[in-house]
Amino acid sequence: MFSMILVEIVFCATYSQQSTTMMGRTLLGVLCLSGWNISSCLSLQYHYVADPKNWTEAQTYCREKYTDLATVETPEEMKQLNKTVLSSGINLEVWIGVYRKLWKWPDNYTNSGAEYRNWRNNNRIINYDFKCYVLFHNGEWYGHDCINAESFICYRGSQQNPEFVYVSVKKNWSSAQRFCRENFIDLATVKNHSENQNIQSLVPEYTYSWIGLYWDPDTYWSDGSGSSFRWFSYGYGYTLHPMSEVCGAADLENSGRWWLLNCETKCPFVCYSVRSSVVKRQVIKLRMKPENSSMDLNDPAVKADILNELQDRLKKNGLSGVTLKWREQPDGKVFHKERKMSKKKKKREKTEL
């Protein structure tokens, strides 16, 4: 039976404020999730700004003065944000970095005319359940359930100079899109009143036809973070304004729960920054059981091999940017055989626990 050996490892994780500091945030987040005993995993700081601005103005301000509008990746960070704002004596809605692009075209068209809409009666509220859009024979656009079977409009040519094609076969929205992509370019993107009239002339009287516009269910972060953490208030999106984009605000009267508001609303806001240099240092004790009892673990070459193996295991688990090193004991050695603990000492340690 080989003796157990005690060894101490010191690791340091450092990063600089580059690439929008995302590498450092990700590293510390992985360290926490991997079970490393870090004294603090909150690498960012929130900054409350009382001057009301619309969301885009707030975003510009945060990028100039700090890093970006606040991104929140964990419940702990949400608590930290709430504490930052409430410590200023404020209990209002504040902009954070989350936003939603409500409506998209299936070919991802975002250039001139992408914002064109011809809602029925210029409706200002769109039913949450209707996530795909059809053009009626009179040229008005209606929200429609995506699973309904309707005729549809494809286009060929180019985005700038499309040729619209009416398909009378009725399909649900997804099937219609697949048909258009297999036989033409895509479902129709409608960029202006002239194109809308062109399509209107193709649609038979009292007929609905699918166009490409659809509701995007995803939300995004201003800094491009891939954080999946969400803290929306129940019912936040059951009615949606037919604007192209809505922006997230944390409601401090409701535990910081998020709402989606008109991005032009003037609100105070929260920015975030990441410390320019953060070092996390932790000493870990390991018990190692060598397969060969004759192996000298204090041999420099053996110590280097073990350290490289540990480093490789961290990398395989997605932990890059971590430096490992051995901590030498007062006698200059790293490894020492573990002494057998007396029954009396074991009993005392058990009592202390």
- At 273 the three-state DSSP class reads strand
pLDDT at 11 (0 to 100): 44
- At 331 the three-state DSSP class reads coil
DSSP annotation of 72: -
Q: Where are the domains of the chain?
A: 5-21+277-352, 44-102+218-274, 103-215
Considering only 171-185, 217-231, 299-313, which range has the smallest mean pLDDT?
299-313
Res. 89: pLDDT tops 60: yes
The H or E element spanning position 287 is strand 280-288
- Report field, pTM of the whole predicted structure over 0.75: no
pLDDT at 335 (0 to 100): 75
Q: CB of 100 within 8 A of CB of 217?
A: no
pLDDT above 90 as % of the chain: 39
CATH 3.40.50.300, domain 44-102+218-274, yes or no: no
- Note the pLDDT tens digit of each residue in 261-297: 889 999 999 999 986 544 555 666 666 677 777 777 7
**Amino acid, res. 308:** N
Q: CB of 227 within 8 A of CB of 96?
A: no
- At 96 the three-state DSSP class reads strand
Res. 194: pLDDT tops 80: yes
pLDDT at 339 (0 to 100): 66
pLDDT at 264 (0 to 100): 92
**Amino acid, res. 35:** G
- Note the pLDDT tens digit of each residue in 94-117: 999 999 887 889 877 888 888 888
Cα–Cα distance, 203 to 61 (Å, whole number): 47
pLDDT at 323 (0 to 100): 67
Res. 128: pLDDT tops 70: no
Average pLDDT, the chain: 77
